């Protein structure tokens, strides 16, 4: 039986973050990602939903904003109740690492938390 897996990515609309969104969607994970690039974020969300037939949660927000990080983390937990892997980009925002503190209690045993550059 397949279990629902959740991958959360901060900075996922372009570059390495986008590659991670596509990679984990291809591995049958549900994706939640945040980015300041609203246009590319929406396009990527639509592309993944069309290709894999499951909903993607895209949050338009700034990883340098404590309020945006808290809203994003709250929405992720409200929707999925757990996190299997979490990626955040320290090169895009000084505060992006705060997402780890907000979500680490929801990362499942043997889950993964990594920074990406």
Architecture of domain 5-116: 3-Layer(aba) Sandwich (3.40)
Average pLDDT over residues 65-77: 91
76-110 per-position pLDDT tens digit: 999 998 888 888 866 655 565 666 676 766 565 55
Cβ–Cβ under 8 Å, residues 34 and 57: no
1-52 per-position pLDDT tens digit: 457 899 999 988 898 889 999 999 999 999 999 999 999 999 999 999 999 9
Cβ–Cβ under 8 Å, residues 75 and 34: no
pLDDT at position 38 is 97
């Amino acid at each position: 039986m397949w279990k629902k897996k959740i991958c959360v990515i901060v900075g996922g609309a372009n570059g390495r973050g986008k590659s991670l969104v596509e990679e984990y969607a291809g591995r049958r994970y549900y994706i939640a990602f945040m980015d300041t690039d609203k246009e590319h974020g929406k396009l990527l969300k639509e592309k993944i939903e069309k290709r894999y037939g499951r909903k993607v949660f895209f949050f338009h927000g700034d990883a340098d904003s404590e309020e945006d990080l808290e809203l994003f983390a709250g929405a992720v937990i409200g929707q999925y109740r757990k996190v299997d892997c979490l990626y955040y980009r320290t090169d895009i925002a000084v505060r992006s690492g705060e997402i780890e503190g907000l979500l680490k209690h929801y990362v499942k045993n043997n889950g993964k938390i990594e920074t990406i550059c």
